Amino acid sequence: MKRVTAIAFLLVLLVIFNSTYNYFEEPAALPPHVLPPVAQNTPEPAGTPRPQDDIVQTPEPTPDAIIYQPGVYVVGVDIPAGVYMATNDDSDASQVIVKSSFVPNTEKPNIIITARYLTGRGEFEGRPTYSNAVSRGGGIPILPDDDEELAKILREGLVEYAEMLAEQYDGLILSGGGDVAAHFFNQEHHPASNPPDEILDAAELALCRAFIALNKPVLGICRGMQVLNIAMGGELIQDIPALLNLKPGIHNTHNGKQARHIIDIVSGTWLYDLVGSQIEVNSFHHQCVDGVAAGFTVAARAGIVIEAMERGNALGVQFHPERMLDEGMLPLFEDFIERCLYDYTVFYVLAAPTLIELAEGQYIEVINASLQKVN
């Protein structure tokens, strides 16, 4: 019995000795692709990045920072240079357009002038007065005969060329002409409307949208103003005498007499800065804009008829300024051509505030947004 007890005691001592030896052994190395677990109470090394370190904190405006509402400003004159926070005004079209006035293009800008293709004659309609206006304004007129892709889009309706042309050229003039097909602005054809040229309609709408998408200057003249409005989602009144109950001859030639009338120009608009508060204009239209498209401002009226509209670098006039260069309209083309000299940057202001750094001398336009200077 004593022998059994002694053997059992020796076995217990052996187990204790083996456990003590394993306690002091080096732990087995982990495979190279496995990291050892970190104990919860182990302090992290200094400089260890934390999740919140990746979050960029938006600077807050100073408590007394002036809120600049939608409008046009010159940095260093109207507002100080610095970093601004642009806030969306609950609009899908909120943006800030910044034009650098430091490095204009050194060459004369190339301006597309649209024209209708006369199928029966196999040629494009001439545009001598438009070309003259562009030349006198300081630009180079580009007609369909000057560019194969421009000819194709206007003659064949190959609208896929619109974006390429907008990237290649500096400005767009949508010229006057006939009525636009009513289905382009979600209406039925009115009996008083003239037969449309749908290839030209589709081409001009595509060109207009492409230039505006790049914030390049667009000037819509007569029909061109109507195309501008339709391209941006607006509609037309298809016949002024029938639908607005205005006498024939007020806005269009009647019994061989050319119509002329006074327009009242809205203070603070692009057109007002160029020609003043009132001017007599020619008139060749029986259709007109039925309220301006979203984001545009009415720039002039003749009674209840909208005679001009604008937004940023897009201006539409219902009259023909190219025929009135010596009656005070040359500055309009000079200013339009000057706008075509510069490169523009567009900041789209979405749900989150957008930070924009503005330098002295820049020209900015705030659309459906507001600006506040930050620290």
**Residues labelled catalytic:** 222, 320, 322
CATH class of 105-341: alpha beta
Q: Are 204 and 161 in contact (CB under 8 A)?
A: no
Residue with tokens 């500055």: 331
Q: How many CB atoms lie within 10 A of CB 4?
A: 8
Name residues whose C-beta falls within 8 Å of residue 324's C-beta, 6 or more positions apart in sequence.
281, 282
Residue with tokens 């370190």: 53
CA distances from 258 to 30, 71, 252 (A): 95, 37, 7
* Cα–Cα distance, 166 to 214 (Å, whole number): 7
Backbone angles phi, psi at 132, to 5 degrees: -65, -40
85 by DSSP, 3-state: which?
strand
Interhelix angle for 330-339 vs 128-137, to 10°? 70
Residue 137: both structure tokens together: 């304004």
* Cα–Cα distance, 325 to 110 (Å, whole number): 20
Backbone angles phi, psi at 135, to 5 degrees: -65, -45
Instruction: Assign residue 297 a region (left: φ > 0; alpha: ψ between -120 and 50; beta: otherwise).
Output: beta
Name residues whose C-beta falls within 8 Å of residue 152's C-beta, 6 or more positions apart in sequence.
158, 161
Task: Please give the pLDDT value at position 177.
Answer: 95
Name residues whose C-beta falls within 8 Å of residue 369's C-beta, 6 or more positions apart in sequence.
70, 86, 87, 88, 89, 91, 94, 95, 96, 349
What is the sign, positive or negative, of the torsion defined by CA atoms of 329, 330, 332, 333? positive
Give strand pairing partners of 309: 298, 316
Backbone angles phi, psi at 104, to 5 degrees: -70, 160
Per-residue pLDDT in tens (0 to 9) along the chain, 375 residues? 545 455 555 554 554 445 444 433 443 433 333 333 333 333 344 444 444 444 445 677 766 788 999 888 888 899 999 999 999 877 666 788 887 654 455 689 999 999 999 999 999 999 999 999 999 999 999 999 999 999 999 999 999 999 999 999 999 999 999 999 999 999 999 999 999 999 999 999 999 999 998 889 999 999 999 999 999 999 999 999 888 777 665 555 544 557 788 999 999 898 999 999 999 999 888 999 998 999 899 999 999 999 999 988 899 999 999 999 999 999 999 999 998 988 777 788 887 888 999 988 888 888 888 999 996
CA distances from 137 to 110, 131, 373 (A): 12, 10, 37
Give strand pairing partners of 84: 356, 373
Q: Where are the domains of the chain?
A: 105-341
Q: Are 157 and 199 in contact (CB under 8 A)?
A: yes
- Using alpha carbons, select from 201, 250, 227 the residue that is nearest to residue 315: 227
Task: Please give the pLDDT value at position 30.
Answer: 35
Specify the amino acid at residue 235.
Answer: E
